[in-house]
Amino acid sequence: MAVGSVEEPVEIFKARSDKREYRRIVLQNCLEVLLISDPETDKCAASMDVPVGYYSDPKGLEGLAHFLEHMLFYASEKYPVENSYSKYITQHGGSTNAFTSSENTNFHFDINADCFEEALDRFAQFFVKPLMSPDATTREIKAVDSENQNNLLSDGHRVYQLQKHLSAKDHPYHKFGTGSWDTLEVQPKARGLNTREELLKFYEENYSANLMHLVVYAKDCLDKAQTLVQSIFQEVPNTNRSYSPVTDQPCKSEHLQILVRAVPIKQGHRLMIVWPIIPGVIYYKEGPSIYLSHLIGHEGEGSLFYILKKLGWATSLSAGESSGGHHFSFFEVYIHLTDAGHDHFEDVVALLFKYIDLLRQAGACKWIFDELSAMSETDFHYQDKNSAIDYVVDVASNMQFYPPIDWLVGSSLPSRFSPDIIEAVLNELTPQNVRIFWVSTKFDGHTDSMEPWYGTTYSVEKITSSTIEQWMEKTPDGNLHLPVPNMFVPTDLSFKTVSNKMNFPVLLRKSPYSRLWYKPDTLFSMPKGYIIIDFSCPQSGSSPESIVLTSIFIRLLMDYLNEYAYYAEIAGLGYWISSHYNGFQVTVSGYNHKMRVLLEKVIDKITNFKVEPDRFFVIKELFTKQYQNFKFQQPYEQALYYCSLILREHAWSWKDELEVLPNLEVDDLVKFYPLLLSRMFLECYIAGNIDSKEAVSMIQHIEDAFYKGAQPLSRALFVSEHPSSRIIRLEESTNYFYAAEGLNTSDENSALVHYIQTHPDEYIKNVKRQLFVLIAKQPAFDQLRSVEQLGYITSLSRTSDAGVCGMQLIVQSSVKDPRYIELRFQAFLKMLESQLHDMSDDEFKRKVNALIDIKLEKFKNLSEETNYFWWEISGGTLRFDRIENEVAALKLITKTDLIDFFNEYVNVGAPKRKSLSLQVFGSSHSSEFKAEKVDPVEPNVVQIEDIFSFRRSRPLYPSFRGDISRLKAHDAEHQWD
């Protein structure tokens, strides 16, 4: 037995495709640890899960557990410099985060493998001896408050809190978990409490090694990882606390059989039907909730959603268990209603109960369970590798609920068919137990109560089971029935070995109609494929009408395909169609076995498209609401929208698109559809476990469908018609700004996006910019968010638009206006200038190496690889060997190069600085907005008054998609046989 572990080794069940090794150890301080060894990983990670959350907040100190989560990471006795931990992590290619939920708090990070030891030690010290310094207290209460400010206008948060509000007042489920300035500062002070003392007390009472679960993801072997973990985490104090989960039920009889009408922020009508149920963790092998959500949430013919959709009442439906806790849980059905569905509320509820009755009559079906169990098993054994950080968080959260053998599996593998257990949960989904939340802007002005934390207005009405039974009697059942066996379940999971080890995509086939890029799987050995077909249609972006019609066309296609493709989706084969300014894009990904069947069905729906008037109107209504809801976007999202509208050559304003929408009729789409497809070009990418002949034959099939026959749907594009996407070039040493009031007048938050345009894609400048952002992003966050407390959302990141590189600062603030934030950013850059000069050569070298490590990180799964190469193809840069070239450029870079770049392109007053500030003023800064309008502007500052005339007046950068003649097709027969 290994030193330090006090128990026998246990088996941990893992996927067949999983080459990693696992070991459970328990340290002498009783900390339970799962070690993971992955010699192939580039990043290492760790997650500590502490079984205490906001359910444990003391009365009158709402948000204390969350506030502790914020405070814990400030500093430790061993590393007393504030924020030195997050600085270390981000500057070595990592990230760090934490979250607080009802019954647990999770802390986690990842980092380049060679820096893991030190990072892990820094991480551990927060649990060994944290320094929750008094001067950080006020700042972090403000950070929590700012986080809460950002949530106040989110319907998701509002409705969730309302659900909790309408439960037993003395039950922890009733609590408000985020906290605010009021709950953590004002109220405690008024009662003579010191929040920091309460915080320390809370920490002492709840953080103890014997309760915690740690997952460590290492590159080293298990023995080495074990020695490291033992030496570091042994010191976490164990005060032998016991964990007492909440056991009683939050919903008493008075909280059941209720109908709650509530008013949301956003347009639309939603219905949430909720029942308290036996928690799934108790019967995770029998999977009763998984079985029931599979059927109630099904979208195939005969399903509840299929019928609601056919009646024109719903646009989406989902069903499943939402986690409540260890001892109570809820089953929820969530339906987006159309206007007609809202009017037929009683019928919708009745149909749901009729479907549940049908399930009860049918009893638990063995074949359905077996099919579900087989699909889950395939998914588990062929799961894509995801990032180490996500993986450790998932596993650490499982450790609290499941025995070690199932830590990796959790509830994802239902394997034991138990009709009794399924029926026991099914019998809880009754009118006697139900809670119905009906959310619609139509209730505005017709409610009588207000939820205290978010201010959601609502009213409650009792709804007896006999009322629901009456609704059921008068509603026709619409031929509800169970699904049929799923023909998309893959049965051929064999892997096609490729003789030719190719690292980059090749142009496999080229014709006047299409180009096919091909990249077989040489890395993952998974029975999966990825297909992208991008349709370039010059007609799609030619006017606001045409872009909206293209979007309606796409949405209708998916609407028609839904009941068929849903079967594929649940069998791990998904598809997606999206529209853009130059046309639209079809993506199919998942198990390759039946992929071609699905792709050909999608193509068939496109070539045989007919407008169904009733569906047209449903989609038009949906789009109208989506456009109307644009104004409820977060202020920083509005600023990003203005940025893209100013920069992009082709882009219509959302207001223009909303304006044309009401006038669009069935006939407009009937006429537009043939025009849209009349001339087009297909850019195609096929990757994964698909051989080259198959890939060519799929594209041949698509070409035949569109371009062949007596009266073909489509013709090739003229050379002159090939679309480009370009952005405008800003003027050097000029700071443009565009100021606007926030679109939602009840949103107090303001936002600034400060965009700096640097250069068109080119290796040497690219790496200078990347290195600069890597070095600057953490200090920017520290200074602007932590020290100056400007706003919870603060980030500095790289940008790339149509091959033109840049960077952007985003700050959203409820305390300061965008103009002030802009000045603070300038002050920050000045401060950074001296930091760059002071940086030692050693430190500089470390940063360069960190960036090299980030660049050399391997793709973890097919979709990561596909996104990477597709980005090169769709942008037209086609630099598949970019990584090698940028790494070579990085090896030559000097500190002087970096400082020169900063002084030329980024620093305040830099000669080649091209910047654009987007300033969105929230309601708390409307006087500053008005004041700014009359302010005389500085010499090199130019205000953009009218976005479109400004855009027209500027020159464009060249497009990387311009030169298509340099592309030559490889000879498919020769190279791939």
Any idea which residues carry the catalytic annotation? Answer: 69, 140
CB of 67 to Zn ion, least distance (A): 8
Tell me whether residue 146 or residue 540 sits nearer to Zn ion (CB atom). 146
> Which residues make Cβ contacts (< 8 Å) with residue 438, sequence separation at least 6?
259, 260, 261, 262, 269, 270, 271, 272, 345
For residue 727, count other CB atoms closer than 10 A to its CB. 22
Residue type (1 letter), 597: V
Characterise 287 by phi-psi region: left (phi > 0), alpha (psi -120 to 50), beta (else). left
State how far the Cα of 521 lies from the Cα of 587, in Å rounded to an integer.
Answer: 17
Q: How many CB atoms lie within 10 A of CB 445?
A: 7
For residue 359, the minimal CB distance to Zn ion (Å) is: 40
Instruction: Report in angstroms how near the CB of residue 70 gets to Zn ion at its nearest.
Output: 6
Contact present, 540 and 725 (Cβ < 8 Å): no
Q: Is-contact 610 569, C-beta < 8 A?
A: no
Q: What values do phi and psi take at 31, rounded to 5? A: -75, 125
546's CB contacts (< 8 A; 6+ apart) are 539, 540, 672, 676
| Lookup result for tokens 């979709």 | 863
Q: How far is 233 from 27, CA to CA, in rounded Å?
A: 8
Structure token pair of residue 536: 């370039």
Alpha carbon distance 874, 685 (integer Å): 10
If 0-12 CB within 10 Å is exposed, 13-18 middle and 19+ buried, where does residue 355 land?
A: buried
Kindly compute the dihedral angle of the four CA atoms of residues 780, 782, 783, 784, in this order, to the nearest 10 degrees. Answer: 70
Count of chain residues binding Zn ion (CB under 5 A)? 1
- Residue 813 C-beta: closest distance to Zn ion, Å: 16
Cα(67)–Cα(179) distance, rounded to whole angstroms? 8
Alpha helices by DSSP H, 344-445: 345-362, 366-381, 388-399, 419-426
**Which CB, 67 or 642, lies closer to Zn ion?**
67
The residue to which tokens 């999206």 are assigned: 578
136/82 Cα distance (integer angstroms) = 9
Q: How far is the CB of 433 from Zn ion (least distance, A)?
A: 34
* SS3 label, residue 645: helix
Q: Does the CA dihedral 874-875-881-887 come out positive or negative?
A: negative
By CB under 5 A, the residues from 395 to 424 that bind Zn ion are none
**Mask 89-128, x = binds Zn ion (CB under 5 A)?**
----------------------------------------
How many whole angstroms separate alpha carbon 143 and alpha carbon 66? 11
- Which bin fits 590, alpha (ψ -120 to 50), beta or left (φ > 0)? left
> Smallest gap, in angstroms, from Cβ of residue 143 to Zn ion?
7
Cβ 66 to Zn ion shortest distance, Å: 6
CA atoms within 13 A on the CB side of 464: 3
Is the Cβ of residue 105 or residue 770 nearer to Zn ion in the bound state? 105
Sheet holding 32-37, edge to edge: 21-26, 32-37, 213-218, 43-50, 105-112, 95-100
Neighbours of 715 (CB within 10 A): 14
Footprint (CB under 5 A) of Zn ion, residues 139-198: 147
- If the CB atoms of residues 303 and 786 are measured against Zn ion, the closer one turns out to be 786
CA–CA distance, 682 with 699 (Å, rounded to integer): 9
Between β-strands 32-37 and 213-218, what pairing exists: parallel, antiparallel or unpaired?
parallel
Q: How far is the CB of 455 from Zn ion (least distance, A)?
A: 21
Q: In whole angstroms, how close is the CB of 106 to Zn ion at the nearest point?
A: 12
Of the pair 177, 760, the CB lying nearest Zn ion is at 177
Residue spans of beta strands (DSSP E) within 601-640: none
Compute the least distance from the CB of residue 151 to Zn ion, in Å. 10
- Residues 764-783 within binding reach of Zn ion (CB under 5 A): none
What is the footprint of Zn ion within residues 663-702 (CB under 5 A)?
none
For residue 330, CA distances in Å to 158, 246, 291, 350, 435 come to: 18, 15, 15, 20, 10
Task: Pick between residue 147 and residue 220 the one whose CB is nearest to Zn ion.
Answer: 147
With contact defined as beta carbons under 8 Å apart, do 271 and 437 qualify?
Answer: yes
CB of 147 to Zn ion, least distance (A): 5
User: Residue 279 and residue 281: Cα distance in Å, rounded?
Assistant: 6
Tokens, residue 384: 């894509």
Q: How far is the CB of 179 from Zn ion (least distance, A)?
A: 9
Cβ distance to Zn ion smaller for residue 147 or 761: 147
Instruction: Quote the CA–CA distance of 922 and 729 in Å, as a whole number.
Output: 29
**Would you say 61 or 873 has its CB closer to Zn ion?**
61
Residue number, 144 or 349, with CB nearest to Zn ion: 144
Q: Please, what is the minimum distance in Å from the beta carbon of residue 144 to Zn ion?
A: 6
C-beta of 147 vs 321, nearer to Zn ion: 147
Q: Provide the token pair at 569.
A: 């989706």
Nearer to Zn ion, 161 or 919 (CB): 161
Residue closer to Zn ion, measured from CB, 147 or 185: 147
Residue showing tokens 């013919």: 301
Query: Which single residue brings its beta carbon nearest to Zn ion?
Result: 147
Angstrom distances, CA of residue 311 to CA of 141, 483, 935, 955: 50, 19, 57, 51
Nearer to Zn ion, 100 or 167 (CB): 100
User: What's the rounded Cα separation, in Å, for the pair 873 and 534?
Assistant: 11
Give the tokens for residue 325: 């806790």
Chain positions contacting Zn ion, by CB under 5 A: 147
